[in-house]
Amino acid sequence: MRALGMMTLGMALLSSGCSFTTAGGLSECTTSSDCGANSVCTSGFCLPQPAGCDQVVGATSAANPIVLGAALPLTNASGNAEIEQQRFNGLKLALDEVNQAQGVGGRQFVMYVCDTGADTNRAVKQAGWMVNDKGAVALFSAGSAQTLAIHEVTTPKNVLLMSHTATSSAFTTLSDKNGGSVGLVWRTTPSDVLQGRVIANVLQGVTPINDPGVTFTPPAKVGVAYVSDSYGTGLFDAIQNRIPNKDNVAGAQYSRNEAVSGAVSRLVSFKPDMTVLAGFPEDNSRLLLEAIDAKVGTAYGNRWFLTDASKDRTLLTSRKEVETELSGTYGTAPASARPNDSTYKLFADRFITAYSTDPGQYSFTAHAYDAMYLVALGSAYAVGADTNNPQPVTGPRIAEGLTKLTPASGQTATSYPLGSTQFTAAREALRGGAVIDVKGASGELNFNNETGEAPSPYELFKVTGTTFKTVQLIDPPTD
C-alpha cells in the first residue's frame, strides 16, 4: 500500500504540472511556470535561466503582451558598458512611448533583456532562451559579430532580428528568408562599406573638412588598428580598397578584450602619419596608452581617427592621458547627432528628460530608438485591420510590415516621423494596408527591402575635451 500511495502521489504531481525533485537534484516540469523565478523548463527539467537574463521591461503586467527580446553587451571586460546602456535607453524610451499609445491591436509590448557581456557564445544561448522559452517574436541585437551569430538561432525559428549597431557588410548578402519572401534580419545602420568610403575620402582630402580655423593635412601613411571580427576586418577592407596605393595602408589587428601589444608593434614598424581606431572603447583605451609608451602617439607624428564604435564618452574619460592624446581628433559615425533636424531634436529632448544624458555623445542611440519603433510598426501591420479578428504577430509578418515603410521609386506616400507624436496615425495607416514613408531620429530610412538596410549620411565629429562635437554631415559616395 505504501508503494502504491507514492506512485499515486507522483502521478498526481505530474498531471497537475507541478514539479518534484529527482534523484539527480533536478526538478521536473511541463512549462517554465512550474519552475522558480530564476529557472526555466528545458527538456522537462527546471534549469537556471541563462546568466545575464534578469531584466524585463515594458508592459510586464499586461495581458497577452507581444513578447520581444534584446541581447545587449551591457557589460564588457572592463565592467559596465556605458555606451550600450545609453543605446538600451533608446530602446526603452521608444518602448515606453509605444505602450503609452496602447501598443498595437490592443496589445502592449514586453521585452526580456539579456546582458551578453560581449560574449558571442553567451549571446547565442540567451537568444535561444528568449526564442524557445519566452516566445519572443522579435529580438534586438547589438554588434556585427554577435548579431550574425544570433541570426543562426532566430532565422530558423522565423523570429525577426533587428540591430541598431551591426554595420558589417556581411548582412547585405545574408541568407535570412528561411523559405519566405522577406528577409528576417534588418538593421537601422548602413553597411561599413559606406563608412569605409567616407573615411578614405576624408583621409585623402577628397572630402574637405569644414572646420573653421583648422587645416587638415592628408596623411601619407595610414594605419588601421582593428578588432579581428566582422566589424573590424570589414571596415579595414573597405578603407584599404578605397585608397589607391595599398603600400601606404597597413592593418594592425587584435582580438577583442585581449592583448593589443602585437597591434602596437605593427604600428611601431609601419610608422603611420595617422591611425584609424576601428575597435571598441575598452580596447582602444589600452591601445592608446601602449602606443604612447611605444612612441606612436601624437607627440611622435601620428594622429588618430575614430570610427562609430569609439563615439563613447567613456573612452575620453577613461584616463587623462587618453583625453589629452585624442584632443582635436576627428571621427565618423552614421549620423545621429543632428540638432537642426526636428525629428532628432524631439527624440533628444525626450531622451535628456528621461535619462539626463545627451544621446548625441554616444553613437547609435537614435538608431536604437528607431529600431523599436520599426518593430512596433511592423507589428501593427501584422495585426491587420479587422479589430474583431486580429492576425497573429509573427516574425515573418513583422518583416512583411517593414517592407511597407518605404515607398517604391516613383510612388508617393504619406510621411511619418518616428516618435510619439505621429505613431498612432502611422500605426493605423499600416493596419489599413497602406504603404507609408518613415523618417527616423537617425535620419531618412529608405530601406532596400531585399537587404533590410538603408543608406545614411555620416557625421564627422571632433573630440573637444571629454565631448564630441558634430562638425559636418557627409553623404557617402555611391561608387
The confidence score (pLDDT) of residue 79 equals 86
Per residue in 266-285, pLDDT tens? 999 999 999 999 999 999 99
99 neighbors 109 (Cβ within 8 angstroms): yes
Express as a percent the part of the chain with pLDDT over 90. Answer: 83
Q: What is the C-alpha separation between 367 and 94, in angstroms, rounded?
A: 11
Per residue in 426-442, pLDDT tens? 999 999 999 999 999 99
366 neighbors 442 (Cβ within 8 angstroms): yes
Place of cell 563613447: 312
Per residue in 435-477, pLDDT tens? 999 999 999 999 999 999 998 889 999 999 999 999 999 999 8
The confidence score (pLDDT) of residue 416 equals 97
The confidence score (pLDDT) of residue 15 equals 41
316 neighbors 463 (Cβ within 8 angstroms): yes
Query: Which amino acid belongs to residue 426?
Result: A
* Whole-Å CA distances, 85 to 105, 113, 354: 30, 12, 13
Per residue in 151-201, pLDDT tens? 999 999 999 999 999 999 999 999 999 999 999 999 999 999 999 999 999
Q: What is the C-alpha separation between 135 and 113, in angstroms, rounded?
A: 13
Coil vs helix vs strand at 286: helix
DSSP string, 194-247: HHHHHHHHHHTTSS----TT--PPPPSSEEEEEESSHHHHHHHHHHHHHSS-GG
282 neighbors 78 (Cβ within 8 angstroms): yes
445 neighbors 370 (Cβ within 8 angstroms): yes
Per residue in 298-313, pLDDT tens? 999 999 999 999 999 9
Q: Which of 437, 456, 287 is nearest to 363 (CA)?
A: 456
Stated pTM of the model: 0.89
215 neighbors 323 (Cβ within 8 angstroms): no
226 neighbors 278 (Cβ within 8 angstroms): yes
**455-473 in b/e burial notation, b at 16+ Cβ within 10 A?**
bbbbbbbbbeebebebbbb
Q: What is the C-alpha separation between 53 and 113, in angstroms, rounded?
A: 6
Residues ≥6 apart with Cβ < 8 Å to 438:
373, 374, 377, 405, 406, 415, 416, 417, 418, 426, 445
Query: Exposed, middle or buried: residue 64 (CB in 10 Å: 0-12, 13-18, 19+)?
Result: exposed
Q: What is the C-alpha separation between 114 and 140, in angstroms, rounded?
A: 10
46 neighbors 40 (Cβ within 8 angstroms): yes
Question: Which strand (E) or helix (H) includes residue 42?
Answer: strand 39-42
Residues counted in the chain: 479
Query: What is the CB neighbour count within 10 angstroms for residue 177?
Result: 15
